[in-house]
Structure formats: C-alpha cells, structure tokens
A and B are shown apart, each in its own frame.
Chain A
Amino acid sequence: MTQYVFYFLSFLAILSALMVVFSKNPIHSVLYLVLTFFAIAGHYVLLNAQFLAVVHIVVYAGAIMVLFLYVLMLLNLNVDAEPVKKNWVKFAGVLSGGLLMLTLVATFHKAETMPLIQDNPEIGVTANLGKILFNEFALPFEISSVLLLSAMIGAIMLSKKDTKK
C-alpha cells in the first residue's frame, strides 16, 4: 500500500512543483508550492520522520509561505507584472534544467538499487532527535541562534524605513 502512497505523493510533488514554475500568477505559484510542501511532508511521514513532517508543515507551509503571500500582497503583485522571456531563453532554460536532471540521474543509473532498509525506525521520533540535537549538535544549535539574530537585525535594518533625521 505504501508504494502507491509513495508514487502518488511523488507525482503530486513533481506536478505541483512544475505548476509553481509555470503558472503565470504568483499567488497561484505560492499555493502550488504549499501543495508541494504538503506532499513532501507526506514523504517524511512515510520515512518515519514524523517530527520533521510536522516541523516542515509549521515552518514552510505555516510561516515561510505566509510570508511570501504577505510580500506578494504588500507589493501588490497579484497581477502578473512579469515580462515574458524570449522563447529561446525559455527553451534553453527547460533544456538545461532537463540536462541537469539527466546528468545527476545518470550518475546513479550505474548504481545497483539500494533497498531502503530501516534498521532503526525510531530515529524519527521527537525524543531521539532531541537527544542528538542537544548532545552532539549543541554547538551548531547555539550558533544557529546567532544566525537567526543576524537575520533579524538584517531584516529590520533593510526593510524598515529610516527615521527622518
């Protein structure tokens, strides 16, 4: 049964990803992207990464995409103001994207198919992740707060209008 779920989710993800790229209206792109995220979250569940699935939904679909929508409305971009590229440019873009995929795939087609054995399905559980995160990865965890801080400062500095002097 999981096969079908997997294939369905993959199909959904890829299709909506394509729609993100090709739909004219940015708002639609955002919505399709949300759909993609849900599909990926489904994959996480399949992979026993339930916690990540939830986080993924919360962060991406819940926060980042909302932010995108905000900006779209803020800048009033719901109408597609984007000038269309020349056809040959489009063609070249599609072509090179496809080529990239082919080359990446080609590197694996020699590889014998590795069965996905899950000798330890417990790792996805929040508790286990927490142990790893707060023991091994304590330093990156603290440093990432520096990252978020600098993002915060940067965002305020750039997007807030200066007080008139």
Chain B
Amino acid sequence: MGTLQAIPLNHYILVSVILFSIGVMGVLLRRNAIIIFMCIELMLNAVNLLMVAFSAHHGDGSGQVFVFFIMAVAAAEVAVGLSILIMMHRNTNTTDVGFLNKLKF
C-alpha cells in the first residue's frame, strides 16, 4: 500500500476533528431539533472516521467492529429521538428547542 503512506494519520485526525467541530457548531447554531439530531449524527460520523483511521493504522480490526456498534447505537438513538420529537410535535406543534423553557431555575 505504498501509495497510502503518503497520507499521514494526522490528516485523518484533522479531518475528523474538523467534522466533529462542525457538528458541535451546528448543535449550537440551530434551534430546529431535527437539524440538531443531524449535527449529532455528524459528530458520531467524525468519530467513526477517526476510529477507522486508527484501526487501519494499527492494523487491528476491533476498531472497525466498534464502529459497527456505534452505527447500531446511532440507529437506535435516531429511532428513539425521532419518536420523542414526534411526541413533542404532537403536543406543542413545533420542533423548536427554544420552545422548551417551562422547566427552569
């Protein structure tokens, strides 16, 4: 794999960190719950990328298996999260998290 050596691991770390930060930024910027979910998914994907890069670096498969589990968990989280969203939308008719401010202090 001579060609691959040309890409240092740090580049992968860099890319995934950037993606992760963009995800965080999105969570901070948007108020629509669905978009926030998506940004969280983005964060998870950045982690996945990092995991795969490391696993390739170490030549150790367990990293990729872990990514596998992350995907399963992501699916489960999305399922539950979206149903919570639906329930909230059914009661309040909005998906704006700014609307959630009854509980405070």
Q: Is the CB of B4 within 8 A of A118?
A: yes
Category for how many chain A residues contact B: 35 or more
The 0/1 profile, CB within 8 Å of B marked 1, for residues 88-111 of chain A is 011011101110110011001001
User: A41-100: which have CB < 8 Å to B?
Assistant: 43-44, 46-49, 51-52, 55-56, 59-60, 63-64, 67-68, 71-72, 74-75, 77, 81-83, 85, 89-90, 92-94, 96-98, 100
Q: Is the CB of A85 within 8 A of B72?
A: no
Q: Is the CB of B45 within 8 A of A40?
A: yes
Contacts of B96 in A (CB 8 A): 81-83
The 0/1 profile, CB within 8 Å of A marked 1, for residues 31-72 of chain B is 110110111011001001100110111011110110111011
Q: Which of A49, A90, A98, A152 contacts B79 (CB 8 A)?
A: A152
Q: List 18 A-B contacts (CB under 8 A).
A: A3-B6, A17-B23, A26-B34, A46-B7, A47-B52, A47-B53, A48-B1, A60-B71, A67-B78, A74-B86, A81-B94, A82-B96, A100-B21, A113-B8, A136-B62, A151-B80, A155-B79, A159-B82
B interface, CB within 8 angstroms of A: 1, 3-15, 17-26, 28-32, 34-35, 37-39, 41-42, 45, 48-49, 52-53, 55-57, 59-62, 64-65, 67-69, 71-80, 82-87, 89, 94-96, 98
Q: Which 8 A-B pairs have the closest CB atoms?
A: A97-B25, A93-B28, A151-B76, A101-B21, A120-B59, A159-B83, A21-B26, A158-B83
